[in-house]
Amino acid sequence: MELSPVFFYVFGALAIACALMVVLAKSPVTSAFSLILVFFAFAAIYAMLGAHLIAALQIIVYAGAIMVLFVFVIMLLDVTRDTGEAGKPHPILMALSVLAAMSLLAVFVWAFKNTGTPAILGPFTTEAITAAGGNTQVVSELMFSEYILPFELTSVLLLGAIIGTVAIAKRQMSAARKGGGK
Amino acid sequence: MNAIEWYAMIGKTALVIGMLLMVAPVMNWIERRGAGLMQNRLGPNRVGPFGLFQTIADALKFLFKEDRILGHVNPFWYFIAPIVVLIPACMTFAVIPFASSITVDGTVIRMQAAELNVGFLYVFAIASLGVYGLIMGGWASNNKFALLGSLRSSSQMISYELSMGLSVIGLVMVFSSVDLMAITQGQGEALWQLGPLTIPKWGIFVQPIGFIIFLTAVFAETNRLPFDLPEGEPEIVGFHVEYGSMKFAVFMMGEYMNMAVASGLLASLYFGGWQLLPGMGWALGNLGLAGDAHEWARIGFEMLSFTLKLSFFMWFFVWVRWTLPRFRYDQLMDLGWKVLLPLSLANIVITGAMIYYGWV
């Protein structure tokens, strides 16, 4: 699977433009919808690299589930403007954070340009994956055989988080009911 | 890619998109005539033979109506919301196979617009984006009733997406693939032999519970009666209350396209997709064709078979709409979370046991 440069630049530019919109947009709804477009552009790039499963999961999990929740909260609270309590940060602080971000980017670019070690190819080359029946087969087979324990542990961790959330919400609810009933 | 593959790709894409764009006007006519049939009245019958041109007249009316953008709406998101509903609806049909494959000059052409390894996960991924159009439309309208309508619809879609995804897992376990082409091919095998009658391994015979859950969830996902709370046209107000003219028509088009995708999924997951209907194999054998002509006739029969199955489910949507009353909102949520979700989880466990003991 060869990554077509034209589409890479199209979706890469879309991702960068939308990521800037997320940070710079005045209205939180615009930020949220731009973030969805960022995820979508990422998914397109994954799909062009041949990682169809990752692309589909990216859209199902991030764009289809998590962002719906974000948008819901923003709309229900009817946040129309950015209402940071501190207001605008100090200009020196702003300049410093931009500088820090830029230097991080510079380090990344330098590191990717100048590393002498060639990319280490694992056993999962594009040809090997196609021969084994495609992405979905390979990932699910590994997940449910070799990596079954980490996978199950992760799901138990998530379950614990969900139960914890419900317990905390319930305690607050019953406290509110006791307080409101009097 | 050689020339034949290019032509095939353009042809398949044109066929799928053309079919989807034709679905809205045709279904609109069928729905109104079907309503007339069930309510013992005529329905639209003045424009053209049997009222067939009624939808064209309606489309012209919608196009020539003044397209107002109301003063209190958020113009950008208000404008973009119908488009966001329509685009995922156009994209999802791409992975549904409408016939098997044919070899032309040594090039195998699979009769589906996009061959993706992730199969129907792609459908679920893209279909889950459709909910943003509803949210945007309701929010941008800047109207309490529209916002409440869009909240109702999005919570309904999110709740039923879960059961829909889980109900198909049983099928994936049986056919050990998520690729719709492979699932359809797997359904061609025989399941039981009852005397002269062969029961094929169609999804509905191996996964009856999964089928019922999927069917119910699909009605909720497409916002059709008995789950049409998002729209609620007779008495409650839905998310598109502030929309008029062609923008409103685009929302309706999206609904009909989603119905077509849902029917295509129902047909290919549970009713053998392009597998020939009883009698078609016999008819194909008796045509007396050989070589390429036989192959093309086979493709034709498979497409006819798939289209008939799809049309049956399209009619089923209309049939249910004029038969059942709407669910109340709490009943809808109870059904989704307390009945369908546990049932689909139980279905996965039962399917696992059945596969372990070698019954399927």
User: Is A89 an 8 Å CB contact of chain B?
Assistant: no
Going by the DSSP 8-state scheme, the letter that residue B323 receives in this structure is: T
Cβ–Cβ below 8 Å for B118 and A136: yes
Tokens of A105: 């980017």
Q: Is residue A45 part of a domain?
A: yes
Determine whether the interchain pair A68/B116 forms a contact, defined as Cβ–Cβ distance below 8 Å: no
Q: What distance in Å separates residue A60's CA from the closest CA in chain B?
A: 5
Cβ–Cβ contact B256 with A under 8 A: no
pLDDT recorded at residue A2: 56
Classify residue A121: in a domain, yes or no.
no
Residue A64 domain-assigned?
yes
Peptide bond into A118 cis (omega under 30): no
Burial of B196 (0-12, 13-18, 19+ CB in 10 A): exposed
CA pair distance B202, B187, nearest whole angstrom: 5
The answer to whether residue B30 neighbours chain A at the CB level (below 8 Å) is no
Residue in B closest to A57 by C-alpha: B125
- The answer to whether residue B129 neighbours chain A at the CB level (below 8 Å) is yes
- What is the spatial distance between Cα B109 and Cα B2, in angstroms, rounded to a whole number? 12
- Asked if the C-beta of A159 comes within 8 angstroms of chain B's C-beta atoms, the answer is no
Q: What is the number of structural domains in chain A?
A: 1
For B98-111, letters b (16+ CB in 10 Å) and e give: bbbebeeeeeebeb
* Torsion angle in degrees (nearest 10) through CA of B301, B307, B309, B314: -170
Contact B170, B347 (CB under 8 A): yes
For B228-267, give the DSSP string. Answer: -TTT--SSS--TTTT--HHHHHHHHHHHHHHHHHHHHHHH
Task: Check B122 against A56: CB less than 8 A apart.
Answer: yes
Centroid of chain to Cα B12: 18
User: Residue A134 falls within a domain, yes or no?
Assistant: no
Contacts 24+ apart (CB under 8 A), B51-56: B54/B29, B55/B25, B55/B26, B55/B28, B55/B29, B56/B25
Q: Which of A31, A60, A71 to mutate to test the interface with B (most CBs of B within 10 A)?
A: A60
Give me the CATH number covering residue A27: 1.20.120.1200
Cβ neighbours of residue A35 closer than 8 Å, sequence gap 6 or more: A18, A22, A67, A70
Within-domain flag for A104: no
What pLDDT, on a 0 to 100 scale, did the predictor assign at position A181? 46
Task: Tell me whether A33 touches chain B (CB under 8 Å).
Answer: yes
- Identify the domain containing residue A30 by its residue range: 1-81
Q: Distance between CA B77 and CA B245 in Å, rounded?
A: 17
Cα–Cα distance, B30 to B259 (Å, whole number): 13
* Confidence at B231, pLDDT banded by 50, 70, 90: confident
Element (H, E) at B194: strand B190-194
Residues A25-65 pLDDT 10s? 888 888 899 999 999 999 999 888 888 888 888 998 888 88
Q: Which of B236, B264, B239 is nearest to B130 (CA)?
A: B239
Encode pLDDT of B248-263 as tens digits.
Answer: 889 888 889 999 999 9
Say if B132 is an interface residue toward chain A (CB within 8 Å): yes
CA B87 remoteness from chain centre: 14
Query: Residue A82 — very low, low, confident or very high, per pLDDT cuts 50/70/90?
Result: low
> Could you give the CA distance from residue B130 to residue B85 in angstroms, rounded to a whole number?
5
A71: left (phi over 0), alpha (psi -120 to 50) or beta: alpha
Eight-state DSSP code of residue A88: S
Closest to B285 in 3D by CA, of B276, B293, B294, B277: B294
Residues B268 and B96: beta-carbon distance below 8 Å = yes
Interface check for A12 against chain B (CB to CB < 8 A): the answer is no
Q: Provide the ipTM.
A: 0.81
In a domain, A87, yes or no: no
For B32-47, b/e burial (b = at least 16 CB within 10 A) is: bbbebeeeeeebbeee
Contact between A135 and B116 using a beta-carbon 8 Å cutoff: no
Of B128, B129, B91, B130, residue with least CA distance to B113: B91
| Pairing assessment for the beta strands B190-194 and B197-200 based on DSSP bridges | antiparallel
Tell me the pLDDT tens digit for each residue of B33-58: 988 988 899 888 888 888 888 888 98
The Cα angle at residue B22 between residues B149 and B101, in degrees rounded to 5: 115
What the block records as the tokens of A119 is 């990319």
Mean pLDDT of B214-239: 82
Mean pLDDT of the residues in chain B: 86
SS3 A69: helix
> Are B13 and B112 in contact, with CB atoms under 8 Å apart?
no
A180 assigned to some structural domain: no
Mean pLDDT of A110-135: 76
A28 three-state secondary structure: helix
Strands (DSSP E) found in B111-184: none
pLDDT at A29: 85
In this prediction, residues B12-30 reach a mean pLDDT of: 89
In this prediction, residue A182 has a pLDDT band, given cuts at 50, 70 and 90, of: very low
Q: Indicate the residue of B128, B131, B139 with minimum beta-carbon distance to A75.
A: B139
Indicate if the pLDDT at residue A83 is higher than 70.
no
Inform me whether the pLDDT recorded for A5 exceeds 50: yes
* Domain assignment present for A50: yes
Chain B, nearest residue to A53 by Cα: B118
